[in-house]
Structure 1
C-alpha cells in the first residue's frame, strides 16, 4: 500500500516538473520575426527582420559583431517592434580572441527605443530608453567594485542616466554576476526573461544544457514597441564578438493583469538599484617618454653602482690604515 502511494506521489511530482519545464521552455511560442537562426541570409545579403551596421560581418556559421581588432564597432538590430508584454530572449554567442590577460570590451544586448544608432556604450548610444544587459569583459581596475570580469549586469534607462565606463557602469546597474564565458570551447548561452515586471538573467556556460541563475530584479517596468539589438565595441583591447542565434519566446500568462494594460507609452523605470560606489580617478600618466624614462633609470643604476664602488674602496682603505697602525 505504501509503495502504491509512493508511485502516485512520484507521478504527480513528475507531472508538476514537466509543467514547470514546459512553462520555462516556451518553444511553442517562439516569435520568428524576433528570432535569428541559421541560415541567416537570403538573396542580396539581407537578413529578414534584421539590420546590421558598422564592422558587423555575416558568415554561414555566425554573425561577427566585431573582429579581434582595435577600434572596431558593430551592431545587429531587429526591425520589428516587440508587442509582447512578457517574453524570454535566448542568445547563443561566443567571445574569443588571441590576447591573454587583457581583452575587451564586451557587448550589450538591448531592448531599446532607438535602434541602429552608433555610440560609446558598447557600440550603441548613451542616454538610451530601455533595458541593457551588458556582458563586460574589460575591467577598469581603478573602478570601485569587488568583482572579477567578465561580468554581466543590467541597466534600465529613461534617457537621463549616463553609463560611466570609468566605473564599469556600477553606479547605474540593477544587479550583476561574474560570468566566465570568454574563450570557451563549447557553446555559451544567456537567457533574459521579462515576466510580470521582473527581469531574470540566467546563463549556460558549463555545456550542461541547464540554466544557472545570474540575478533577478523585480519592479522593472518596460514599455512595448521597443526593439531588440546587440552591439559591441573594441578599443585598445579587442575580441571577436560572435552571435550564433537569437530566439524570442512570448510568454503566455493568462493570470497577468498586464494583459489588459496599454504599455506602449510608459517610461522605462526600475524601483531597485544597487548602492552606488565611490568613483576612483585614473592615475595621471607619466610625462616622461619611454626613452627619457630609460635614461633616468640607467643614470639611477649607475649612481647606485658608483656609490657601491666608492663604499668598497673606502672600506678597503680603512682596513689598510688599521693594519699599518698595528
Structure 2
C-alpha cells in the first residue's frame, strides 16, 4: 500500500515539473491546416485546398513555382481563409535558384495583408498595402545609399499610405533587415516569421542545420487579426526560379499578460520605430565615353580658336583705324 502511494506521489511530482516543458513544446505542435500548404498539394482536379494562384504560378508534385527562371514573370499564391489567430508562427520552406551566378533577380515576399490576389509592382503584389511584408530581395540595382549586400531580408509594416521604393530596395520604409545568402543551395532553405505579443521575429535556417538564426526582431508591432497570408515573386531583366516547398502556420498560446477577449480586428497596422532613414542619394551621371569626350574637347578648342581669331581681327582693325586718324 505504501509502495503504491509512493509511485502515485512520484507521478504527480514528475507531472508538475514536466507540464510547463510539454506546454512549451506543444505551442509549436498546433498546426493550422487551413493556413498551411504541404505535399501533396492538389485536391480534386487542379485546385489546392485553401489556396488560390495568380500569374505565372505552377504547381508540381514537389514544389509550387511562383516564377520560372525567365524574364518578366510574376506569380503569387494566396490563402483563402483569413487568420483570426493573435499569436502565430509561419514557417516557409523555399528554394531560390537559377542560372545566374553574379546577376539575378528580383526576389519574393511573404505577406500578411488585408487584400489578397492583387497583382502589383512590389514583388508581384500591390503597393500601398495594409499589413506586413517580409521581403527577400535578391537584386541589387546599386541605386542610392546602401550599407548591405544582396540577397537581403527586410520587414515592412504598411497602413496603406507608404510606397515601397523598389529603386532604393525599400530601405527607407523597412523596420529592420539582415543579409542572407539563400540562393542556389542543393538543400531547401527555411524562413520563420513569429508574431507574438506584438513582437515580430524573423529567423532563417539556410544551411540545413535544423536551427534558427535570428535575422531581425522588432517590438511594438501592431497587426490586426483577419488578414491573409500569401507569397509572391517577380523577375525583370534578370530572373530566378522562386519555389515554395511548404508553408506551415502554427497557432501560439496567448501569454498571461494578453487579454484573450480583446478585439484586434480593427487595429491599424503600425510599428513604434523604424530604422533610421537614410538620405536619398540620386544616381550619379554616367561618365562620357572616350569618343564623346574627344568631340566635346574638340568643340571647346574650336570655340576658343574662333574667339581668339575674332579678337585678333578686331584688334587689327582698331589699330588700322587709329593709323588713319594720325594721317
Deviates more, 1:251-260 or 1:269-278: 251-260
Q: Is the 8 A contact 1:83 1:224 kept in 2?
A: yes
Is the contact between residue 143 and residue 168 of structure 1 (CA under 8 Å) also seen in structure 2? no
Per the alignment, residue 192 of structure 1 pairs with 193
Within 5 A, what are the aligned runs for 1:134-173? 134-173=135-174
Q: For residue 55 of structure 1, what is the aligned residue in structure 2?
A: 56
* Superposed CA RMSD: 2.4
Task: Please say if residues 28 and 252 of structure 2, whose CA atoms lie closer than 8 Å, have aligned partners that are also in contact.
Answer: no
- What CA deviation, in whole Å up to 9, does each residue of 1:117-143 have, x standing for no partner? 000000000000000000000112123
Deviation at 1:20, TM superposition (A): 6.3
Superposition TM-score, scaled by structure 2 size: 0.81
| Range 252-261 or range 118-127, more displaced | 252-261
Residue 322 of structure 1 is matched in structure 2 by none
1:197-216 mapped onto 2 (5 Å cutoff):
197-216=198-217
Aligned length: 281
SS of alignment partner, residue 225 of structure 1: coil
Q: 1:104 corresponds to which residue?
A: 105
CA distance in structure 2 between the aligned counterparts of 1:235 and 1:67, rounded to whole angstroms: 11
Give ranges in structure 1 of 5+ residues lacking alignment: 1-11, 301-326
Q: What is the rounded CA distance, in whole Å, between the counterparts of 1:277 and 1:210 in structure 2?
A: 33
Query: Rg: which structure is higher?
Result: 2
**Number of the residue aligned with 1:222:** 223
Distance 1:144 1:52, change over 3 A: same
Distance 2:22 2:209 in 1: 16
Partner of 2:89: 88
Off by >6 Å, runs of 4+ in structure 1 = none
Structure 2 gap segments, 5+ residues each: 1-13, 296-327
1:21 Cα deviation after fit: 8.7
What displacement does 1:100 show?
Answer: 1.1
1:265 corresponds in structure 2 to 266
What's the secondary structure of 1:29's corresponding residue?
coil
Secondary structure of 1:248's aligned partner: strand
Cα distance in structure 2, aligned partners of 1:211 and 1:24: 16
Paired position in structure 1 for 2:313: none
**Normalized against structure 1, the TM-score is what?**
0.81
Post-superposition Cα deviations, 1:265-312, rounded to whole Å, max 9, x if no partner, equal 1110100100111122234568x9xxxx79x49x99xxxxxxxxxxxx
Provide the C-alpha distance between the structure 2 equivalents of 1:94 and 1:25, rounded to a whole number of angstroms.
Answer: 28
1:257 CA displacement: 1.8
CA-to-aligned-CA distance 1:249-274 (integer Å, 9 cap, x gap): 00012414242210001110100100
Please list the CA deviations of residues 4-57 of structure 1 after superposition, one character each: whole Å capped at 9, or x if unmatched: xxxxxxxx9xx78x9669636744210000000000012220000000010001
